[in-house]
C-alpha cells in the first residue's frame, strides 16, 4: 500500500489506487476542500506535491489548471495513490469561510471518461 506523507499531519497507508482527495480526508483527517465534488472544475482541492509526484495527469486536470493559469500545484481529486508521495494540503476548510468541504467525491476519478496525459520528465 502506498504511504502518503502529509506535511503537518504525518504518514498514512492508503489503499492502492484511492483518490488522493479521499485519502487526505479519510486516512489523514485533513479538512480538504473539494467544492465541486471532485470533478476538476473548481481547483479548491489543490495540493503541492513535495516528493513522489505522479508522472501523468488527467486531461481534465491539465485543462482546469491551465484555464486558471495555475502552476506548481495538482488537483487532489484527479490523483490516484499508486506510489509514496509527500504532499502539502494548501486548500483547507479552515480559514476558507466555507461551512464544509463540499459534497463527497466519488470513489473513481470524475468526470468520465478519464483521459490521461504523460508529464514531461524533469531534467
Count Cβ atoms within 10 A of the Cβ of residue 79 and give its class: 0-12 exposed, 13-18 middle, 19 or more buried: buried
Write down the pLDDT at residue 123: 56
Q: Is the pLDDT of residue 10 over 70?
A: yes
Instruction: Express as a percent the part of the chain with pLDDT over 70.
Output: 99
For residues 52 and 45, the answer to whether their CB atoms sit within 8 Å is no
Instruction: Express as a percent the part of the chain with pLDDT over 90.
Output: 96
Residue 66 vs residues 11, 34, 62, 70, 118: alpha-carbon distances, Å: 31, 18, 6, 6, 16
Write down the pLDDT at residue 71: 95
Rounded mean pLDDT of 31-54? 96
Write down the pLDDT at residue 122: 72
Tens digits of per-residue pLDDT, 88-121? 999 999 989 999 999 999 999 999 999 999 998 8
Provide Rg for the chain, Cα atoms. 13
Amino acid at each position: 500500500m502506498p504511504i502518503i506523507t502529509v506535511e503537518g499531519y504525518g504518514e498514512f497507508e492508503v489503499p492502492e489506487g484511492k483518490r488522493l482527495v479521499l485519502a487526505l480526508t479519510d486516512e489523514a483527517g485533513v479538512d480538504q476542500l473539494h467544492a465541486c465534488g471532485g470533478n476538476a472544475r473548481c481547483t479548491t482541492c489543490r495540493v503541492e506535491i513535495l516528493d513522489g509526484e505522479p508522472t501523468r495527469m488527467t486531461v481534465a486536470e491539465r485543462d482546469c489548471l491551465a484555464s486558471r493559469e495555475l502552476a506548481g500545484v495538482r488537483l487532489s481529486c484527479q490523483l490516484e495513490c499508486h506510489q509514496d508521495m509527500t504532499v502539502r494540503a494548501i486548500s483547507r476548510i479552515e480559514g476558507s469561510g466555507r461551512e464544509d468541504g463540499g459534497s463527497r467525491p466519488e470513489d473513481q476519478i470524475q468526470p468520465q471518461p478519464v483521459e490521461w496525459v504523460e508529464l514531461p520528465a524533469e531534467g
